[in-house]
């Protein structure tokens, strides 16, 4: 495993749309391993592949219950609303208030290629929406209401 460099705000790669993963092979395993290591080292709640310069629909999330790996995540349902501080490893040191659904049901492939559905609320829901946004070239700063704070 290896820690990868996290791309920051100015990098155009963060504004591109990521492609679906078609074959889950050794390169995807390596990417998942590296993303988890990079996310943990940076003390992040989530990381999306474009943040390490890879335009593939791959996300890792850890809301304190272990690393969840998501390949080709798709939001199936969401409900409610939460409004709170959000940050991003690609926008270091800055925070802002973002409105997100309070609950989510998401489907994705795990590294075995099995289709998995997962439901969650609050921080988990916020992380899923934030990371899926990254796969479409959207950053939280696009959605901040009020000032971006340092």
Among 35, 36, 45, 88, binds Zn ion (CB under 5 A): 88
* DSSP per-residue string spanning the chain: --PPPPP-TT-GGGGSPPBPP----HHHHHHHHHHHHHHHHTT-SEEEGGGGT--BSEEEE-SSS--EEEEEEEEEEEE--EEEEE--TTSTT-EEEEEE-SEEEEEEE-TT--EEEEEEEHHHHHHHHHHHHHHTT--GGGT-EEEEE-
Residue (64 or 114) nearer to Zn ion, CB: 64
Query: Residue count at the site for Zn ion (CB under 5 A)?
Result: 1
When asked if residue 104 is in the footprint of Zn ion (CB under 5 A), the reply is: no
* Segment interacting with Zn ion, rule: CB under 5 A, options 12-20, 52-60, 81-89, 118-126: 81-89
Residue 145: active-site member? no
Residue (22 or 120) nearer to Zn ion, CB: 120
Q: Catalytic residue among 22, 131, 145, 149, which?
A: 131
Residue (24 or 94) nearer to Zn ion, CB: 94
Catalytic residues: 131
| Contact residues: Zn ion, CB under 5 A | 88
């Amino acid at each position: 495993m290896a820690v990868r460099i996290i791309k920051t705000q100015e990098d155009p790669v963060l504004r591109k749309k990521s492609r679906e993963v078609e074959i889950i092979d050794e390169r995807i395993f390596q990417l998942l391993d590296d993303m988890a290591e990079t996310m943990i080292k940076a003390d992040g709640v989530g990381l999306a592949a474009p943040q390490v310069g890879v335009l593939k629909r791959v996300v890792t999330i850890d809301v304190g219950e272990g690393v969840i790996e998501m390949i080709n995540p798709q939001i199936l349902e969401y409900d409610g609303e939460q409004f709170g501080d959000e940050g991003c490893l690609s926008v270091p040191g800055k925070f802002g208030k973002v409105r997100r659904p309070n609950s989510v049901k998401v489907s994705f492939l795990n590294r075995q290629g099995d289709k998995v559905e997962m439901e969650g609320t609050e921080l988990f829901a916020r992380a899923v929406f934030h990371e899926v946004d990254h796969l479409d070239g959207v950053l939280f700063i696009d959605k901040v209401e009020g000032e971006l704070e340092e």
